[in-house]
Amino acid sequence: MDLRGKAPGRGAYLCPEDACLTRGIAEGSLGRALAVTIDEATRLRLRDELAAGAEKRRT
């Protein structure tokens, strides 16, 4: 996960809110953008990393 948005390569933009992640996975748009299947373990890891990134931005 590139929280600064500066890493080279292909990716997907996602707001740091848990609702955005939930909607992106439920609608399948995040998996399509990344060309991967997002399983439960990956969903939980993404949620934790997004929460940590959002907290880091607040400080």
pLDDT in tens, 26-53: 999 999 988 899 999 999 998 898 888 7
CA dist 55 and 14 (Å) reads 15
Is pTM beyond 0.75? Reply is: no
Judge whether 45 lies within some domain.
yes
Give residues with Cβ within 8 angstroms of 52, minimum separation 6: none
Cβ count within 10 A of residue 17: 12
For 1-34, how does the pLDDT look when each residue is reduced to its tens digit (9 = 90+)? 777 777 887 788 877 788 888 999 999 999 998 8
Count of domains forming the chain: 1
Judge whether 37 lies within some domain.
yes
Judge whether 46 lies within some domain.
yes
Judge whether 30 lies within some domain.
yes
